[in-house]
Amino acid sequence: MPGDIGFVGLGQMGSRMSMRLLDAGYSLTVFDRDEAAMKPLVARGARRAASAAEVASASDTVLVSLPTPDIVHQVVFGPGGIVEGNRASTLIDLSTTGPRMSGAIAEELSKGKRIALVDAPVSGGTGGAEKGTLAVMAACEKDVFESVQPILKVFGKVFFCGDKPGMGQTLKLANNMIAVAALAISSEAMAMGVKAGLDPQTMIDVIMVSSGGNVALRDKFPKAVLTGTFDFGFATGLSYKDVRLCVDEAEAIGVPMVVGAAVRQLMAVTNATFGPTSDFTSVARLLETWSGVEIRSRK
Active site residues: 172
Of 26 and 31, which has the nearer Cβ to ligand NAD?
Answer: 31
Q: Which residues contact 99 (CB under 8 A, 6 or more apart)?
A: 166, 167, 169, 170, 173, 249
User: 5, 6, 7, 13: which one contacts ligand NAD (CB under 6 A)?
Assistant: 13
Q: Which stretch binds ligand NAD (CB under 6 A): 10-18, 150-158, 182-190, 268-276?
A: 10-18
State how far the Cα of 11 lies from the Cα of 224, in Å rounded to an integer. 19
Of 27 and 126, which has the nearer Cβ to ligand NAD?
Answer: 126
- Residue 107 has φ and ψ, to the nearest 5°, of -65, -45
Which contacts (CB < 8 Å, 24+ apart) does range 42-49 have? 44/19, 46/7, 46/18, 46/22, 49/6
User: 6, 99, 125, 200: which one contacts ligand NAD (CB under 6 A)?
Assistant: 125
Of 238 and 267, which has the nearer Cβ to ligand NAD?
Answer: 238
Interaction between residue 49 and ligand NAD (CB under 6 A): no
Interaction between residue 9 and ligand NAD (CB under 6 A): yes
CB atoms near residue 36 (< 10 Å): 8
Residue nearest to ligand NAD (CB): 11
Q: Angle 19-24-27 (CA atoms, 0-180°, nearest 5)? A: 75
Of 234 and 274, which has the nearer Cβ to ligand NAD?
Answer: 234
Least Å from the CB of residue 276 to ligand NAD: 10
Q: Which stretch binds ligand NAD (CB under 6 A): 11-19, 159-167, 185-193, 204-212?
A: 11-19
Of 101 and 293, which has the nearer Cβ to ligand NAD?
Answer: 101
User: 14, 85, 98, 165: which one contacts ligand NAD (CB under 6 A)?
Assistant: 14
Least Å from the CB of residue 69 to ligand NAD: 8
User: 2, 27, 71, 108: which one contacts ligand NAD (CB under 6 A)?
Assistant: 71
Interaction between residue 98 and ligand NAD (CB under 6 A): no
- Rounded to the nearest 10°, the torsion over CA 219, 222, 228, 229 is -50
Interaction between residue 85 and ligand NAD (CB under 6 A): no
Contact 281, 270 (CB under 8 A): no
**String of contacts with ligand NAD for each residue 234-253, x by CB under 6 A:** x---x---x-----------
Q: Which stretch binds ligand NAD (CB under 6 A): 106-114, 151-159, 201-209, 232-240?
A: 232-240
Interaction between residue 162 and ligand NAD (CB under 6 A): no
Q: How many residues bind ligand NAD (CB under 6 A)?
A: 28
- Residue 268 has φ and ψ, to the nearest 5°, of -65, -40
CA 211 from chain centre, in angstroms, equals 27
**String of contacts with ligand NAD for each residue 18-37, x by CB under 6 A:** -------------xxxx--x
Burial zone of 151 (CB within 10 Å; 0-12 exposed, 13-18 middle, 19+ buried):
buried
Contact 40, 47 (CB under 8 A): no
Question: Binding residues for ligand NAD, per CB under 6 A?
Answer: 8-14, 31-34, 37, 65-67, 71, 74-75, 95-96, 122-123, 125-126, 233-234, 238, 242
